[in-house]
Chain A
C-alpha cells in the first residue's frame, strides 16, 4: 500500500476528471476506461484536490468544515488518497 504523507501534494493526473453526473445524480471520477462513482464523502474529499495544497492543508480544511476530530479525518483522507494512488487516478506531485 502506498503511504501518503501530510506534506505530500496530490493531484489528478492528466486523463482523470472529476465531474457531476446529472443523469444518475452524484459525482464521478472519469479515468481511462473506468468510471468511479463517488459517495458524498469521497466527493467532498476529492474536490479538495487542487494540485497546490498539501494533504495536511486539505485535512485542516475538512476539520474546520465538519468540526470533526483531526486524527479521524487524517486517517480517512490519507487512506482514501492511498487507494486512489494505487488505482492510478491520483498522483503525488
Chain B
C-alpha cells in the first residue's frame, strides 16, 4: 500500500466499535453524540465482519465492542466470533442490564476475552437515579456475578461526577466484592451529553483533589489485587490531557453507521470530512482520510505548542475541547496554563460546580419517523 502523508504514521492499536447507539440506560454523561444514530442506519453483520478483518490486517490488536448497549445487537455473538477469527482481542463494554446467563455463555463460547461493566453509582439509589432506570443496580450486580462465575475477567467502570464522587471508596469495595480484576475511575469528560449536563456534573476543585487522594490510597492498599486506572478531570487541571495519545496515532472509532472517527467526539468539529467503511477500506481511511490527517503530528500546532517541550507528550491536548471552548479546533487545548483561555475555563468550572440543575437524560430526539 502507498500512502500520501509526509510523516511516519503508525498503524492503530485499538478500535472502538460503536455497534449501536440504542441503550436501555439514559446516563447524562454519555459520550455518544447528542444526535444519536438510529437503528435503520446501523451497519449489518457482514459489514462489521469485514471491518474487523480489515482492522486486524491494519494492525489493530484490541477491539472494544461498545455502544450504546452492544448487547442490543442480536448478532453480537457472531461479531465476537469475527473478532476472534481475525485474532483480535475482544472487549465487551456493557451496561449489564440485558444479558442473561445463556447469552453470556454464548458470548464466552464465541471467544470473548473481557467484560467491562459500567456502574453509575456504588449503591442502588445512585445507579438507578443516574442511569434513569429502576432496578439497574441490582441487575448489574447479578450480571457481574455471572461474569466471574463463568470465569471471564471483569473490569468495573465508574464515571465520576458531582452526584457520585462521594462514593469512591464504595466503588472500590464493590469492585473487590464482585471479583473485578480492574476498576476504572473515570471522571466525566465534557463532550456529547456530558457537555449538555456540565453544570449538573462538574465537581469542585476540592472534591476532585479528595477523589484523587482516595484513589491513590486504594491503589496502594490493593496493589496486586485490583488494578485501578484513573482518568483525571481536566477543567481544573494545569496541563491538558494527551487526548487519544495524539490524533490519529493509536486508535480509531467506528460509529453505528460506519463513519470512522479519530475519537468519539470528532464529529463536533464541523469542517472535518469523515469517511465511511461502506465506501473505503479501513486502511485507506486510517492513512488517507482528511479527518485523520487534519491534526496528526505537530505541524498543525500553534506556536506556543510548537515551542513547548511537552508537544509530543500532550499532543496539544484535545481538538474538540479547543473548538468547544475557544471556537477554533487548531487552538491549544484551553485547559493548558499557557493558553490565553485557561483562566476562563477555570472560572467556568467553578461556576458550573456551584450550579444545581437537573439532569437532561440521554435519549433519542422525538421524531415522526421510527427509530
Instruction: Give A contacts to B, CB under 8 Å.
Output: 2, 13-17, 19, 21, 23-24, 28, 30, 32-33, 35, 85-88
The bracket for how many chain B residues form the interface is 20 to 34
**Chain A CB within 8 A of B33 CB:** no
Please, which residues of chain B bring their CB within 8 A of the CB of A21? 59, 61
Which of the candidate stretches B94-102, B119-127, B151-159, B169-177 sits at the interface with the other chain? B151-159
State the CA gap A87–B219 with chains docked (Å).
12
Convert B157-181 into 0s and 1s, putting 1 for each residue whose CB lies closer than 8 angstroms to a CB of A. 0000000000000000000000001
Is A30 in contact with B224, judged by CB distance below 8 angstroms?
A: no
Q: How far is the CB of A11 from chain B (nearest CB, A)?
A: 13
Q: Does B227 contact A (CB under 8 A)?
A: yes
Residues of B within 8 A of A19 (CB): 87
Contact of A88 among B61, B113, B181 (CB under 8 A): B181
Complex partner residue of A14 from B13, B89, B151, B223, CB under 8 angstroms: B151
Q: Are A24 and B89 in contact (CB under 8 A)?
A: no
Say whether B91 faces chain A, with CB atoms less than 8 Å apart. yes
Q: Are B114 and A15 in contact (CB under 8 A)?
A: yes
Determine whether the beta carbon of A13 is less than 8 Å from that of B91: no
Determine whether the beta carbon of B10 is less than 8 Å from that of A24. yes
Within 8 A of A (CB), among B203-229: 223-224, 227, 229
- B113 touching A86 by the CB < 8 A rule? no
A88 to B223, CA, bound (A): 10
Hey, what's the 0/1 contact readout for B1-18 against A, CB within 8 Å counting as 1? 000000000110110000
Contact with A along B258-298 (1 / 0, CB 8 A): 00000000000000000000000000000000000000000
